[in-house]
Structure 1
Amino acid sequence: MKFSDLFKLSTRMFKARTSRTFLTILGMSVGIGAILFLVSLGYGLQRTLLEKITTSDSLLTLDVSPNDSSQSVLDKSSLEKIKNISGTANISPAYQIDAQGRMDNLTADLSATVIDSLYLKLAGMKLASGKLINDQNPRGIIVSSSVAKIFGKNNDEILGKKMSFAFSLPKSLGDQKNISENYFSNQRKYAPKTQFKIIGVVDSDDSSIYINTKSLSAISVSEFSQAKVKCQNNKIMASVQKKLVEDGYSVSSLSDTVDQANKVFRVVKIILMLFGIIALVVSAIGMFNTMTITLLERTEEIGIMKSSLSSSISTCVLS
């Protein structure tokens, strides 16, 4: 018997039982589609989350801060030593001070982080609007969306606005001998005469601002509260981190957070895949049941084919 004849005879049941054929194919399609959809959903959620919290620079960056238990400090000599560690590409220190900001006759207590132009890039911070701090415009500052709400503005409205500040200088910054006449030694306050222009906004619930360290050059800093250390590549990060820990610093990295997130998403993807497999198994059981019923309906035809000396292979194909 020709193959074309075998094919026509074996597929005639699909035409005779169109509803059964359609529902069987639909069930299997739903099962396979469920697996593909759920696994893709897991990968999509993972990629979306990681894109929001990471950049290529931030994945190579270590967050370094003093450790009280080891009495380590981040002063200029310490930063120079860290910079000389093998595998270190860049280092960006920062310190925090309390500030009182004023705009349009409104005043608010804020937390100011004084940074250089490299800090936000290494931190992987993405702006909701505006642009990052740069050395071409040292008086440009970045505020959080919470600060914008405090002054009754949205993220776009506050861009370009000017603010004046009075900074409270902690004793940890050391003596301020080079401060201008606006500095009151009894209150340790520093109020620059010039105003700062808002050039960027970040999404945050904290009442925080970011100021270029070049605009506060009058403040003498003896110790920094934290530093971003960028490594040359991810292979050398572990050795740099180990060296910093041995020197008594507290060290963390965004890559550690990413690794933890990947572990969680690995479990989530397995769970989603199991749900899809369950749907596929149910569909397979339904298909097997349909095929069994179809075979039982054709027992007489199979008997006739065998009695007419049809080969087992031809009988199997026709069935």
Structure 2
Amino acid sequence: MTPAGQVDAWLGRLAGERHASPHTVAGYRRDLAKLLRYMDTERLLSFESLDANRMRTFIAAEHRAGLAPKSLQRLLSSCRSLFRQLHREGLMTHDPLLGVRGPKVRRKLPQVLDVDEAGALVESDSGGKLAVRDRAMLELFYSSGLRLSELVGLHWLDLNLDEGEVRVLGKGGKTRLVPVGRHAVAALRALGAEQGMPPESPVFRGRGGAAINPRTIQLRMNTLALQQGLPKHIHPHLLRHTFASHMLESSGDLRAVQELLGHADIATTQIYTHLDFQYLAKVYDAAHPRARRKP
């Protein structure tokens, strides 16, 4: 099988057996297309022909072409995942990325809303026929820290409003149970009373009763934020970051926040400890007599 055929086979397995999202598969495909182009240029007929020196040359070329450090790290990760699978299948006898490292990436802290800003956003009344749906979406995002894809994929049978729970299908096909706060429960009950709650029906519907388009949610959130005069760029993942930050500030329980967010690795969740420290540093600067800076 050609290298391109091996890539197609692996991506098909990711989508089928591992239930990777279309977005994830598309990202791997874009990254591995770069590697395939490099191999064509170098007239390399198999992945077995790659070695550490060639991979360093490949990464350096992509860097010179303008690929950012974060994108280079993702490119390496995509290649590493493919090579690992080929090795498991006996199609590669060595790791071409052994000892190869990409440039260091400065981890950018996610922006979050403060408590007042979050409250103003989720309680905003958009008016008109979409008001009930908008309120339920925003309350659920902030209440439970869902990803956009998770919220779009919700059906009424996934919700237990009496117990205040939602069953979420997350990344990699992993299911988790997440609490739903009382304000979100009330907003969802109002939405159900308005449109009905057939168990197999999407909670948030678009035209024709199908699940709402993710882009529609992004646009609605941005519109509502502008109406509220919020100075930040508002998007669904911002409310997930805000949920995580506020939970960690209140509880200090990093492991619990990891479970609520559905992070496979606690290192992903640890970025919110930096956000929490920033908050504490602001409190310290404002309160401690020796910390105050003179104007």
Could you tell me the TM-score, scaled by structure 2's length?
Answer: 0.20
TM, length-normalised to structure 1: 0.19
Q: Which has the higher contact order (CA 8 A, sep 6+)?
A: 1
Q: Choose 1 or 2 for highest CA Rg.
A: 1
Query: As a proportion of its length, which structure holds more strand?
Result: 1
